[in-house]
Chain A
C-alpha cells in the first residue's frame, strides 16, 4: 500500500462510514437536498481549507484566516453601506487580503520568523482592524447580494446547489490542479519535505513562500465574501476560531502537520466530515452543538496517532528492506 494514499483512503473510509451510520439512523440524509446543504453550509470553511492545505503542506501554518474572513465581511458591509458597488468591493477586498498574505509570506521568508508567530500577529492585526471599522453587526442589503444568494442549480431529486457551494467545489478543483499539475504545487510539497534540499534543487523558496501565504489569505478573502453572502452581514466577531476548524479539517483530511504529505482532495473530505457531524447533531435535535467539537477533537486525536503510526511503519519497513538487501560491512582499514 502506498503510504501516500493511505491517509486519504482512511479519511474516505471514515467519511463513508460516518455517512452510512447517519443514513442508517436518518434515511433522509441520503437526499440530495442534504448533500447540497452540506456543500452550501461549509462553503466558506472549504474554500479557506484549500489555502490552508497548501500552507500546511509547505510545513507552515496560517492562524490569520479566521480574522481575515471577519475583516472581509466587515469591510464589505461597511463599504457597501457607504455606497460602493459589491462587485468592486469583492475585487478590492480580494486584492487587500492577497497582499496581506503576501506581506506575511515575505516576513516569514526574509525575516526568518516562524509562520506561527507572523500569522498570529496577522490574526490580531486583521481582527483589530475589524473593530476599528465597526463594532456592530452590519446587515448587508443590496440587490447584487439578493441576486447572488438566489442563484442555484437544480440537481436531480430536489437538491439545489447554491452559488457559494459551487464556488467551493470549483476552488477545490482548482486547488487539486494547482497542487498536482503545476510547478508551484511541486515546489510546495518540496518545501514541506526539506527546505534546504528544495532550495538546492532549484525551488524558488522566496517566491513560493510568498505565493503560499498570498494564496491562503486570498482564499480567506474569498471565503469571507462567501461568508458574507451566506450570512448577509458583516460582524467583527464572526469566524472566530475558524482557523482552528480549518486546520482540523486539513489534518483529518490526511495532511501531515509536519508538511510534505497530503492532498487537497483529502481536505475536501475533512471538511465534509465536519459538516456531516454538524448535520447529524441538527438531525438529532437533542444533542448540544458542542458535540461537533467533541467528535472533531476525538477524530483529530485518532488521526494524529494514525499518522504517527504510518510514519513509524514506513521507517520500520525501510529498515527491514535494508537488512534484507545485505549487511553493512566493517572496514578494517578505516
Chain B
C-alpha cells in the first residue's frame, strides 16, 4: 500500500507557451503504490504537465523530484531511464512486429552480436504471464491483437523499462467495459508492486473505480488534490468546472411548440450493410438526438442523411418534394449542413486560417467562379468569431492552433455561414472541455430557438437529454425506438439502449 513519502513530487511547476500560461505553479505528488487520477478540462494543463514530466517540453520553472532527487528529463527516453514510463491513448508500439520484438525493442538481448531470439521470447513470455496474458504467443504479430491487449503490452513494456512511475494517458478511451476491467486488474497489480501510477481520464466513473487520489487542474492552475474516498461525483465535477452544475441549467426549457410542418421527411430510408431503413421527420425548431452505443449506426445515419453515402432504399422528401440526395453537394444545396465526428480528419483544414475554414462551405456552395472578396470573408469570419465567442487572437490564425472547443465552434460557424435550414452535428462535444461543452449546448439551443432544424448524434446521454426534443435510439445499425416528451431522460435513454443490450448479451451497460 501507499507509503507517506512521495515517490514523485512536482513543486511549483510552470510552463508558458506564447500567449498562454499552460502551467502556473502546479504542485503534484505521487506516492509509491498509489493510483493518482489527473483530471481537468481540455486545456487545463494535464497534457502539458505530462509532457513536462516526460521531458517532451522543458519547464520554465519549478522542480521535479523523484525519490527526493531533482531530475531534469530531456526526452521520453531520458524520463524512462529515470524510471518514468508513459502509455498513451493511441498505442505507441509497432503493430507490424511481434509481441516479443515490441517488448524488447531498443534493448534486444544479443549473443555474439546477433539478437538472441530465444532469450527475447523467454523474456516476453515471462512478462506476458505476469500481466495475465499468458495465452498470447510472443511470436504473434502485435497488430493482430485487440487494442486492450496492445495497451497491456505497452504497459508491460513501460513498466519493464522504467519501473517507478507509470503514466497512463487516457488509456481507456478506445476500450470497452470488459477490456477496461482487464486493464484495471493490471493497474491494481502494479499498484500492489509499489509502482506509482498517474491516471489521466475523462471518465469520472473510472476515477472512483481505481484512483486513490484525484488532482484537478483548471486553466493551468491546481484546483486541489483530494482522496477519492472523501469525494463525491458532484464535488469532483464542481472542482473541474469551477461552478456548481445544477441539473436545471442543463435541462432545456422546452417551450410548447405547435408541431411545425416537417422540413424533411425520410421514409424507409436506408442502405444495405450500412443502416437499416428508418423513418425520420425533421422539423424546424426541433432537436432530434441520436443515441446508441459505439458502432450502432449513429454516425452512419447522419452520413446517409447528408449524402456521404447514397441511400439504396426509401425516399427523402424536402419541403414536400421528393429529392435524391446523392452527394454532400446536393445535401448542402438543399440547405443541409454537417459537422462530422472526427474534427481533425474530416472537419478542419488545420493549416488554413480560422477565417478560411469558416468561409469554406459558403464558398463551395457559391462555386469557385464567384469568389467572396477579402473584406466579405473577413466580415463573415469576424461576425461568427464574435457570435460564437471563438477564442482566437485573430481570425487569421491557423485553426490547428486553437483548442478543440474553439475548432468545433469554427466548424459550426462554417455551416452557419451558409445559412442552413437543417444542421447535422455528429458528436459536437467530443474531446472538448466541459466549459466549451456547455457553450456548445447553449448554442445548439439558441440555433433551435431560431427555427433551425437539428439532428445531433452524441454518446453523452446527459447532453442529449439537455437539448433533444426527440431521441432516436440506435442498435446494430437499426433504429430501435424513438423517445419523446417526458420520456427523454438519462434513465429512459440508457434503459432503451441497455434493454436491447441486455437482451443480447445478458449484461447491462454500466
What residues make up the interface of A, taking CB atoms closer than 8 Å to B?
A: 2-4, 177, 181-183, 185-186, 189-190, 192-194, 196-198, 200-203, 260-261, 314, 317-318, 321-323, 325-334
User: Is B94 within 8 A of A193, CB to CB?
Assistant: yes
User: Is A321 within 8 A of B509, CB to CB?
Assistant: no
B425-450: CB near A (< 8 Å → 1, else 0) gives: 00000000000000000000000000
B16 CB within 8 Å of chain A: no
User: Is B204 within 8 A of A333, CB to CB?
Assistant: yes
CA distance A332 to B463 in the complex (A): 9
Residues of A within 8 A of B105 (CB): 186, 190, 198, 201-203
What would 17 A/B residue contacts be, using CB atoms closer than 8 Å? A3-B144, A183-B108, A193-B95, A193-B96, A193-B97, A198-B105, A200-B77, A201-B94, A201-B102, A203-B106, A325-B178, A327-B177, A330-B293, A331-B203, A333-B205, A333-B233, A334-B460
Query: With A326-B178, A330-B497 as given contacts, are A189 and B94 in contact (CB-CB < 8 Å)?
Result: yes
Residues of A within 8 A of B509 (CB): 327, 329-330
Which residue on A lies nearest to B430, using beta carbons? A334
User: Is A181 within 8 A of B293, CB to CB?
Assistant: no
B295 CB within 8 Å of chain A: yes
* Residue in contact with A332 in the complex, picked from B94, B117, B494, CB distance below 8 Å: B494
B382 CB within 8 Å of chain A: no
User: Is B461 within 8 A of A314, CB to CB?
Assistant: no
User: Is B97 within 8 A of A314, CB to CB?
Assistant: no
CA distance A202 to B176 in the complex (A): 30
Which residue on A lies nearest to B429, using beta carbons? A334
Which residue on B lies nearest to A4, using beta carbons? B141
User: Is A181 within 8 A of B114, CB to CB?
Assistant: yes
* Residue in contact with B510 in the complex, picked from A190, A325, A326, A329, CB distance below 8 Å: A329
Which residue on A lies nearest to B205, using beta carbons? A333
What residues make up the interface of B, taking CB atoms closer than 8 Å to A?
A: 76-77, 92-97, 101-102, 105-108, 110, 113-115, 117, 140-141, 143-144, 146-148, 157, 175-179, 202-205, 233, 291-295, 459-463, 490, 494, 497, 501, 505, 509-510
User: Is A189 within 8 A of B106, CB to CB?
Assistant: no
Total cross-chain contacts (CB, 8 A): 128
User: Is B459 within 8 A of A330, CB to CB?
Assistant: yes
Select the residue from B105, B114, B115, B147 with max chain A CB neighbours within 10 A.
B105
Select the residue from B144, B157, B205, B233 with max chain A CB neighbours within 10 A.
B144
The majority secondary structure among interface residues of chain B is mixed
User: Is B146 within 8 A of A318, CB to CB?
Assistant: yes
User: Is B93 within 8 A of A197, CB to CB?
Assistant: yes
Which residue on B lies nearest to A256, using beta carbons? B96
The 4 closest A-B pairs by CB, nearest first: A202-B106, A260-B96, A193-B94, A328-B294
User: Is B115 within 8 A of A326, CB to CB?
Assistant: no
CA distance A333 to B143 in the complex (A): 31
User: Is B93 within 8 A of A328, CB to CB?
Assistant: no
Least CB distance from A327 to B in Å reads: 6
Query: With A193-B96, A318-B143 as given contacts, are A328 and B293 in contact (CB-CB < 8 Å)?
Result: yes
Select the residue from A4, A181, A192, A326 with max chain B CB neighbours within 10 A.
A326
CA distance A181 to B254 in the complex (A): 69
Which residue on A lies nearest to B180, using beta carbons? A329
Which residue on A lies nearest to B175, using beta carbons? A328
User: Is B203 within 8 A of A326, CB to CB?
Assistant: no
Which residue on B lies nearest to A183, using beta carbons? B108
Query: With A322-B146, A333-B203 as given contacts, are A192 and B96 in contact (CB-CB < 8 Å)?
Result: yes
Residues of B within 8 A of A322 (CB): 146-147
Least CB distance from A331 to B in Å reads: 6
User: Is B179 within 8 A of A326, CB to CB?
Assistant: yes
Supply 16 further A-B pairs (C-beta < 8 A) apart from A327-B505, A333-B203, A333-B233.
A183-B115, A189-B94, A194-B95, A200-B76, A201-B92, A202-B107, A321-B146, A322-B147, A326-B177, A327-B295, A327-B501, A328-B177, A330-B291, A330-B509, A332-B490, A333-B462
User: Is B97 within 8 A of A190, CB to CB?
Assistant: yes
Query: With A202-B106, A203-B106 as given contacts, are A334 and B144 in contact (CB-CB < 8 Å)?
Result: no
Residues of A within 8 A of B497 (CB): 330
Residues of B within 8 A of A202 (CB): 77, 105-107
User: Is B97 within 8 A of A189, CB to CB?
Assistant: yes
User: Is A330 within 8 A of B108, CB to CB?
Assistant: no
User: Is A328 within 8 A of B461, CB to CB?
Assistant: no
Least CB distance from B433 to A in Å reads: 12
Least CB distance from B100 to A in Å reads: 10
Least CB distance from B371 to A in Å reads: 33
CA distance A3 to B114 in the complex (A): 26
Residues of B within 8 A of A197 (CB): 92-94
User: Is A201 within 8 A of B106, CB to CB?
Assistant: yes
User: Is A194 within 8 A of B115, CB to CB?
Assistant: no
